[in-house]
Structure 1
Amino acid sequence: MPSTILIKHLQRSLTFVCAILISFIISKAFVIEPEHFPTISIVSSVMAVSFICYGNRALVGIISGLFLHYYFAGKEIGVTLLFSLILPSLPYVFALLFNTISKRFNDYPISKKIGLYFIIFCCCFPISNSLLLLWVRFIGDQIAPSMDFLSYSVLGSFLTQSLISPVLIFAVSQFNEKSLKEYKTLDRDMRNSSDNDKSYKIWLLTCTLLMLIAVTQPDPLLLNSLCFFLLVLIIVGFGKHGFIRPLIMAAVVILMMVFDSVTRVNLSQNIDANFYGLFVVLSVITALAYLLASHNIKNYELTQKQILNERIDPYTGLYNITQLKDDLSHIRTSVLIYLDITPTLTTVSDIGHAGRSHLIQQLSLYLSARDQGMSNFYRPPFNTGLLSFIPLSHDIKDELKYLARYLKKFQFFWEGSSITLVDPTLHCAKISNDNDIEMAVSILCEQPPLVSVSTNWVDVQPTPIYKICKLSFIQGVFKNNHFELHCQPYLNLSDKTAKSHSFEVLLRIKSETGEQIPPAEFFPLINQFSLETKLDSWVVKNTFKMLDLMVDDWGKIEKCAINLTAKSLGLPSLAHSIILSANKHNIPLSRICFEITESSALQNEQQAIDTLNILREAGSKIALDDFGTGYASFAYLRTLPLDVLKIDGSFIKELPTNETDRLIVSSIATIAKEMKLETVAEFVETQEHVEILEPLGITYGQGYGIAKPRPLADYLAELKNSEYETLKAS
């Protein structure tokens, strides 16, 4: 173990030695030969970055690298040792100062940390470093440095620490994922906030092309003009396109300009005023760029802080759904989790709003402490519970099982007492970043409380109904007449030779894509928005209209069954409007049978009885649908004026194998016969069903074994042009 640690230290020290030696080689490209001074000191930058990132661990390697360079450069051993110890001292002290202050102000915004770096390394360090170099040069060469040397030293050191050192810091951070994570995240978020990938690509391409053009220019005036234009373009990109990429590009452009100027000075062996002026201008531009970048970052941070405050629930401290959408936008696939705590709150309803908030807070802290990918928690709108997400993985089911077990250990402490969660269920859904997150959350939150179910997987893929507002959808169906009339024929089991036909009118909806939406999806919306009476009116009116248009011989029709809801039967005007519509379309009401859905309670029973009596007196028949499953099956037999009983399909489905169902159906058939009522058996799926029902005295059979639902217009056209035997065979 000690030998491994020693090898690791030696490898690290060797890396720093190589970095120092390479930086001396690169720095030669920026040395002013008349002054024997590097305008851009890559060595100084490497030392500063090494001490900032690695602290004391870099000291041995840096000193060793300096010693080797000066020793092989022909310096005396004493001078070599002096240079090797003195030169790293200032970067080390300033790096130590910067790291100490940064740790103390760790929670400060990044804009202030950048300001701190600018003050310490871009302002104070260049002056201190220049004074140290003056002294070292005087000690080494015994020559008093000129004021020009001092000026170039300060400006060169300023440019070095302003541009080269930050670029090297970000380069070093690429080898450590956690290093400078907040800076990288801020850079990414600033680029993403502009939400214009095209403009970023154009900006990047333009800058790259201009740099390539500038590099090939032999004319210094043209090169500097292109570079100054480039700097303006790059500075404009600060903030809008992040700050790391603009910083790197600005460093490259300024190095190009300095290298070109140093090359021309060395060729002419003359330092003119233009050279010094260029350094001053570049330093001013760099300082302004820092100010602009800090200002943009500060504004972005303030905006994000304000947005964050708006996205946090003040009572529970949880994020809202908008923050959830932002967080999920960066993840390709994940599992959205909703924990409904309604069952728990129902049992402790006296804890009040404060207690509910504390429960949510304690629960989120408890889950956060688990540290298994659930870092943030969100408050769903209009629901009591917690939302979170975890990345999708191959062992996601095992992870959710562990999470469910972990939840069972949770204790909610309130006013000296503690309780566990009541029936906690994790409602989970697989989602991708292109899903409609609001819709997915809505579907998850609509899940009913489940007993003894720890994990409930939910399909949140939107059906055609969920693609738009529910109310808007169903209103649009009425407005645009998207309903379609279908029917399902009966089979007369009591008289196989009957020439007339019976059928039930059904309803379907076509979505905008042309797909048919099943009743199970749109009927709940009809009930939810109290549109039952409007729907019944539409069905009666359009059925009568189609019958008038397509039926020439009413002798072929024995019974056309139309459903009426309990709410419609409570309207005093219903019977009158039906009779009026029948007269208008020449419909013999003796051929119409109105079905009452027995699974819904009659809201105004006396009015319903009056309405049914009027319709019956007008010639209609009345059927009680879903008999045997509703609120008051046998009570309705006593009170309602009925002609037909429709036996619920739940008693018919398993008739061939279930003796109990057979006894129930036989009993209903006997009661109906005694009351002189006809019977219809639903869910007749096979010929075996037919063979069982016939001896029991059931009048009609209805189901897929008899005939599948079909468009009413097609059936009436077929009925108009065909004989009974043809229809029966179909």
Structure 2
Amino acid sequence: MAESTQNLLKQALTYESLEMDSPMSMLMIDSVLALICKQLSCDIVFAIKSSHSNNTFSPSLDIVDTSTYKVASHSTKHFSQQNLLTQAIEQNKDLIDLVLNLSKPLHIDQQHSSATTEQEQFICQFFAQSIDKNLAISHLEITPAASVGNVSVVLIAMSLQQTTVTIDSQPQSCESFWQSVLDEHCFHLAAAFELKRLSVLLVNKEKQYQELFSHLPMACALIDVKNLVVLQNQVSQNMLKFEVGQSLFDCLRDDDHALLQDTLHIVRQGVLRQAWCEVPLKLGISTHWYKMSFCHALNSQQQLLLMVEDVTERYRLADELTFHSNHDALTGLPNRVQFEGMLDELLASDEAIPACVAFLDLDQFQVVNDLSGHQAGDELLQQVSKRLKQLVRKGDVVARLGGDEFGILMYHSDEVSSQQVAKRICQQLCEHEFTWKKVKHNVSMSIGIATFDPKAKDIYEVMSQADAACRLAKQEGRNRWHYFSSDDPQVHILYTQMVASVDITGALALNQFELFYQLIEPLNHNEVGLHMEILLRMVLEDGSFVSPAIFLPAAERYNLASRVDRWVIDNLLKWGSENLNIWRELSMVSVNLSAMSLADQKFMSWLEMRLMVEPELVDKLCFEITETAAVSQLEQATALIDLLRPLGCKLALDDFGSGFSSFAYLKTLDVDFVKIDGQFVVNVCTDRRDKAIVSAICQLGKDMDFEVIGEFVETAEIGVKLKTLGVDYAQGYAINKPCPLSTLKSGIRSPWLAVRGLDNMIYDI
């Protein structure tokens, strides 16, 4: 038996018998059944094998029956009966299910049967009815199923005799012997079939995985401990051109070896289960970027699985994005970001490289856009960009800073060489003909140049100097250049304003402004509440204040005025809401609006919405605009009046008389107050002409129903004189100097001049 069992297991594991239905497999089963017939001296032996499907992707066995059945038989005689019984068993699934689920051996002979249950009786009846009428079952033994893994086996042994022959009962020992032999063979068969099933499964899975590995859409390879390629799939062969036995490092640049080595080390040492790196590989004449991911292959050779993804397109797009982020899309020149980056590098360099920076502004560019359209303007910018690159020295950098503004960084340059470049540009561009749809346009540039100071606190210092010089060149008539010199008073003024504009932007961002107030004193009538004008101061880091005479011109020149006006109005209304008791005591609060704010529709829309949400505050507000702004933007000034009147706000004309050419616009503007320009007030006590002008304005106010305010009241005598001339209000240092709004504790007025006149004058600064 041992020899037969060993042979059985050997045959079960041989390559030739790995296929379950192979001739070798069938021969093995027949040999075992023949051995059983010989040992038991029986006529027929049946083997019923049940095994579950090898498909690992099948659903749960509890839900779907994936079992398959095989019935094999061997007979020493009664061959026709063997075939009939085998077919009958194969066709009766209910019988097979009952046999495979027997919990104990089933014995049948002519003397007795061990069938006790209805299912066992059905089995006995099936075999009794299935044999030939001339034959009778002298002995039948059925084993319980022997199950090993996914395989179950049942053995059925049978002896038949002619019905005319008297059958002696088999001794009890024969039944035990049959059971013992059948049980042992049944278990060995089940074990052999399970081993064979597992062997087939392993071989099939190996083939399956190799097939999957070969057809994966991603390049994959196995890498041994020496970093050599030992296996790769089809995609890897086509894409990477690796050779089996080739080192991964062969296609890498020397500089990338350390990165790949570190990635491999991280996985092999178990720091991470998976790690990746992105490296360029040179394949032929081109270089591609690949993402190499490594993980353990989970085999005894300690190999790594390499998965490779081509990321060349991402790197190309990243390079393209980097280019676009540093270059102007229209002209292809470096943009402001890259230009400033170059200046930063120059400033941070330890080498004191002499350099100059030029700012260039295309003259009358807006005319081209207005007459010929933006498409013509774009074409002009492209042509100018090409010409500028041709006209600068080798190594100089030309950049488009925005709109029609360009910049040039001239390395190893001084005042003489930089002005030579500027002269060449002005001469050549002036001769450049630009024609668009038969319309000719003149081309010229204004250029400002500044020496790059390596000791400057930042790059914006030299950029502001070049920009100021450029603006001066434009003011002097265009198509010329100007070199920045701190000794030039005109350039110094422009430069101071530009620096102030930078400070304004920072102050707005950091809330570094403070509101002040100055009283406007009634002269000819008594008021309970204060009438005052809101003023603005910029706060420096040391706590000192910057006069608006310095930063407001810069705000208007660099389009920041409306942002400043918004800050003033917003913070004034916040103060009013937080100090509502004081606000209610006030008589009038005047706020200045710049001409730029009048022309800014976005600002005007914001102003309307901001005032509408403060119904308790707006009726005390009076907005001041200069006479120059009102005359130059009469339509916008009228729109402001239309906006303010329904809300209960007042309107005042500031600096009245500075333009003093015509009063025609006063018929259109329905103003509440007119503030006489201070130049007519400071000498009103001694200059009869100033006195006459003030008197005329007062008479005009009476006739046109507006009140008059005199500015620059620096002495009490001026105040008294204005009162006698009919001026309604006075404002100046003689009354009070501007004070922080945060210090105002009451809105109740204390009279400045006594009603009885100069004898009882109260003077309080």
TM bucket, shorter chain: 0.3 to 0.5
* TM-score normalised by structure 2 residue count: 0.40
* TM-score normalised by structure 1 residue count: 0.42
The structure having more radius of gyration, on CA atoms, is 2
Structure with greater helix percent: 1
Using CA pairs under 8 Å that are at least 6 residues apart, name the structure with larger relative contact order, 1 or 2: 1
Structure with greater strand percent: 2
